[in-house]
Every structure is written in structure tokens, then in C-alpha cells.
Amino acid sequence: MASLLGEQLFQISGQGPPPSKDFFQLVITKNEIIWTSWKISLRPGSRGIAPRQLKSTHHNFLHDKMLLHEVTTVFGQRILEYTKSLCEGRFDYLERLPDDLLLRIVSYLQLKDTTVLAQVSQRFSKFCNSEKFWEQTVRNRCAEFTSNMEGIATAMGWRRTFFTFFHKSNNKDQQ
């Protein structure tokens, strides 16, 4: 499973809370936390200031109250908790599964269960709404699908094809 972990475990960036216009980036690697901030100001003395970058080991980050507070202020408590869990070695391997492997696993689920999976995280929501997912759904679950329909599905979109042609006929069969 360790091979699923790249050098970079997580990255997020965004603007700080108002009134600040400063920009922040948090990068978590296997060995360190990198906190970068860019001062955004229209004041003449502030132009051209280089970004400030702070690097910290996971252990030091977990004990740096000032940095923990900054991460919470900019990105919120949920991101702080996720960052802390990564620093403590608690990785979410399911989130890191390659799409091809996830497609294979999801093919064993009932379609109604994939709607629940889509609510688990942004990644799963994006995955369960992807063309790749819906193409597999149509190909594997719709007995009436023929190779002649492939062009239509590609042009219309696989999800739309499922709900236009196959979902209706499956509901009639169940009644």
C-alpha cells in the first residue's frame, strides 16, 4: 500500500480570510510541511516582497501552535484535522486508489450504493459523475447496449445515455 503514496501527500492553496488579500499554500510531503504565504498589498512598500516559506517536520508542525492556528484560520478546522492525521501517519488509502482499480471495485456495488459513495468526498463525487464511471455502468449493466449505440453515447455523454435509454427500461422491467 505504501506505493500509493507519492512524495507529496496533500496540497491546498487559497486566499486568507478578509480583510487580508494574502495568498497561502500548504504542502504536505512524506517528510515535511511547507507553509508558503504571499503578501498581497497595493501599498508601494509592499510590492515585490518575496513569498515567505516555512518548512517544518511533521513532529514540529504538530507542536507549533502558531502554525496550527494559521492553517485553521486560512483553511478551516477540517483541513487542519486532515493535515494532522497525515503528519501522524494516518493515510486515507481509499482516496488514493487509481481510477482503474476504483472502477473495478465499484462495479460490484449496486448503482444506488454509488450515490452514497459520491457523498463521501469530493474525489468520489467527481469519480461517480465521470464519463469513465458512466461508460462502465452502461457497458456492464445495460444488456440492451450495442456497439452501434457507442457513437450516440460518446456524443450525448454516457450518463445521459444511461438515464435516457436504459434507466427507463429498467424501471419498466421492475414494475
Point out the domain boundary residue: 41, 64, 94.
Answer: 94
Note the pLDDT tens digit of each residue in 40-68: 877 777 677 889 999 999 999 999 999 99
* Amino acid in position 91: F
Point out the domain boundary residue: 94, 109, 138.
Answer: 94
174 pLDDT above the threshold of 50: no
Q: pTM of this prediction?
A: 0.58
- Regarding whether 128 and 152 lie in a shared domain, the answer is yes
End-to-end CA distance of the chain: 45
Note the pLDDT tens digit of each residue in 75-129: 999 999 999 999 998 877 777 788 899 999 999 999 999 999 999 888 899 999 9
Amino acid 1: pLDDT: 42
Q: How many CB atoms lie within 10 A of CB 72?
A: 15
- Regarding whether 106 and 87 lie in a shared domain, the answer is no
Amino acid 167: pLDDT: 66
Amino acid 112: pLDDT: 92
- Regarding whether 135 and 87 lie in a shared domain, the answer is no
* Amino acid in position 125: S
CA 42 to CA 156: how far, in whole Å?
Answer: 48
Note the pLDDT tens digit of each residue in 19-41: 888 999 999 999 999 999 998 87
Band of residue 4 on the pLDDT scale cut at 50, 70, 90:
low
- Regarding whether 101 and 81 lie in a shared domain, the answer is no
- Regarding whether 113 and 62 lie in a shared domain, the answer is no
Mean pLDDT of 135-153: 88
**Higher pLDDT residue, 84 or 147?**
84
Amino acid 122: pLDDT: 84
Total number of domains constituting the chain: 2
- Regarding whether 141 and 169 lie in a shared domain, the answer is yes
Residues pairing with 28 in the sheet: 10, 33
Q: Three-class SS string for the chain? A: CHHHCCCEEEEEEEECCCCCCCEEEEEEECCEEEEEEECCCCCHHHCCCCCEEEEEEHHHHHHCHHHHHHHHHHHCHHHHHHHHHHHCCCCCHHHHCCHHHHHHHHCCCCHHHHHHHCCCCHHHHHHHCCHHHHHHHHHHHCCCCCHHHHHHHHHHCHHHHHHHHHHHHHHHHHC
Point out the domain boundary residue: 74, 94, 114.
Answer: 94
- Regarding whether 144 and 102 lie in a shared domain, the answer is yes
Query: Is 141:165 a contact under the CB 8 Å cutoff?
Result: no
Amino acid 172: pLDDT: 46
Domain hosting 86: range is 2-94
